[in-house]
Amino acid sequence: MMQPPQTQSFGDWAHKAIAKHYKKILSHEAGVLADRDPEELHQMRVGMRRLRSVLLGFAPALVLPEALTPKQVGRYGRVLGKLRDVDVMTLTFRERYLPQLPTVEVTILEIALKKLAKRRQKQLTKVRKFLNSARYGEFKGATQAWLDQPQYQAIASVDIQLILPDLLLPQLSELLLHPGWWVGYSPKKLSKKQLETLFATDSPILHDLRKAAKRSRYTMEIFAPFYGEDYADQLQAIKKVQTLIGLLQDDAVLQAFLEKALGKTFDQELPTLCQIFHDNRHQTWHQWTKLQHQFLDAEYRYQLHQTLCQPQPRPPVAQKSTSN
């Protein structure tokens, strides 16, 4: 976690955050090109995502070159993301599902995994091409130039604690007003048939809620040093939203891949795996409904707003001694 700079102006904090995530991106560049470890790609992608969140969160204070705008950084991240998605699918199949399958289904799934490996090679080629491109070089040049000579709006000189609630409350409102919270909301437990219908029709809305939770989490994490334990607890709750919806979505993505790789009747060839998918979705959904009810509770939503409006007082900066 970053420690606040002593001056704590809006602009100073923006500069520190941009420099941190840019350094992280660069530190994993060689590892991604060499394809030594999938974790290198993961960390570089995280760096891009967090940099984009910083640029959005501090947008009122920044004057940015085109190559460093949130829109452009989002595009860079998507190039990395396509390869990362393949890595995640491969890891999930091999570590989570293969050990649970009978031998005959393992053989069939290995056929699909060979096709996934070919897809990975294509995406790796695209990532390497991007990292060696003039476009990526412009991003690095523009970012370093901005860090050396940052350009700000007038509000950058304001003490950041004065405007923290104004920065965070719109992000929280966007999250809490998302229609995904009401998908499947019911005081009663949904039947299996109702759940299957829900998964078939409303998955895109839930997926978008997951993205909204991720945006809120990344933005809130930037300013965590200015808040206390209540804020940290609420951050964990938002992270859990992202995680549980992600689990619901991941199995849907895996099934879509299997249908493309093995055909529409793949469920007949992989009955054990499909039953595991089915059971996982239902178990995860029941965990999700508890969190869903929590975030739709009026008192909890009030507490979320109150926490953001009460950043912790800044401790006084220690005076340097003038004695010899």
Residues 265-288 have pLDDT tens digits of 999 999 999 999 999 999 999 999
Per-residue pLDDT at 316 exceeds 60? no
322 assigned to some structural domain: no
Per-residue pLDDT at 319 exceeds 60? no
Q: Is residue 142 located within the same domain as residue 240? A: no
Mean pLDDT of 78-87: 96
Per-residue pLDDT at 314 exceeds 60? no
318 assigned to some structural domain: no
Per-residue pLDDT at 249 exceeds 60? yes
Show which of 158, 188, 209 is a domain's final residue: 158
324 assigned to some structural domain: no
CA neighbours closer than 13 Å in the CB half-sphere of residue 229: 0
Q: How far is CA 301 from the centre of its chain?
A: 22
Q: For residue 152, give the CATH number of its domain.
A: 1.40.20.10
Residues 197-215 have pLDDT tens digits of 888 889 899 999 999 999 9
Mean pLDDT of 223-249: 94
Range of the domain at 131: 1-158
Contacts of residue 281, defined as CB under 8 A and 6 or more positions apart, other chains included, come to: 195, 199, 248, 251
Query: How far is the C-alpha of 157 from the C-alpha of 69, rounded, in Å?
Result: 21
Domains in the chain, number: 2
203 assigned to some structural domain: yes
Contacts of residue 5, defined as CB under 8 A and 6 or more positions apart, other chains included, come to: 12, 13, 16
Residues 20-75 have pLDDT tens digits of 999 999 999 999 999 989 999 999 999 999 999 999 989 999 999 999 999 999 99
Which pLDDT value is given to residue 317? 42
Show which of 158, 185, 208 is a domain's final residue: 158
